[in-house]
């Protein structure tokens, strides 16, 4: 035998409690979204080669400084790099920039 539909009454307090729960959940999700918006996965750009000039632009340094960083091992060369055309791994450049920013 089918059940009869019974009306449910919702009080103002229940509605306000539900809205409060939604607002709390929204704050948590907004914070997570904001954190993820500023997240950058270096693995996605690990094999991207950049020129010395591009590294200069990213790091706001002179080309001689970039070459010095390569020689000292602070920046890693890309496998496609040649003596005539130095290519640097983008993840190395970005990690170097982040380390410099955190040092300040």
88 within some domain: yes
21 within some domain: no
pLDDT for 16: 96
pLDDT (mean) for 58-87: 93
Query: What is the rounded CA–CA span in Å between residue 19 and residue 15?
Result: 6
- CB neighbour class for 51 (10 Å; exposed up to 12, middle 13-18, buried from 19): middle
Q: What total of structural domains would you count in the chain? A: 1
> What CATH code is carried by the domain that includes residue 67?
1.10.1660
Residue 59's pLDDT band (boundaries 50, 70, 90)? very high
Rg from Cα positions in the chain: 27
9 within some domain: no
Residue-wise pLDDT for 24-55, tens only, equals: 999 999 998 888 777 767 677 778 999 999 99
Task: Determine the structural domain holding residue 95 and report its residue range.
Answer: 42-103
pLDDT for 75: 95
pLDDT for 23: 97
pLDDT (mean) for 70-78: 94
Q: Which two tokens stand for residue 31?
A: 């914070």
Place of tokens 């920039």: 97
pLDDT for 54: 95
pLDDT (mean) for 61-82: 93
7 within some domain: no
17 within some domain: no
Classify 49 as helix, strand or coil.
Answer: strand
> Tell me, what DSSP letter sits at residue 84?
S
3 within some domain: no
8 within some domain: no
Query: What is the rounded CA–CA span in Å between residue 86 and residue 93?
Result: 13
59 within some domain: yes
């Amino acid at each position: 035998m089918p059940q009869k539909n019974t009306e449910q009454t919702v009080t103002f307090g229940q509605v306000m409690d539900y809205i409060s729960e939604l607002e709390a959940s929204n704050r948590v999700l907004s914070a997570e979204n904001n954190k993820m918006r500023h997240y950058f996965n270096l693995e996605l750009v690990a094999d991207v080669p950049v020129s010395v000039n591009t590294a200069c632009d990213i790091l706001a340094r002179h080309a001689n400084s970039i070459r010095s960083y390569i020689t000292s091992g602070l920046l890693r060369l890309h496998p496609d790099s040649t003596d005539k055309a130095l290519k640097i791994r983008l993840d190395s450049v970005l990690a170097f920039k982040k380390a410099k920013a955190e040092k300040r």
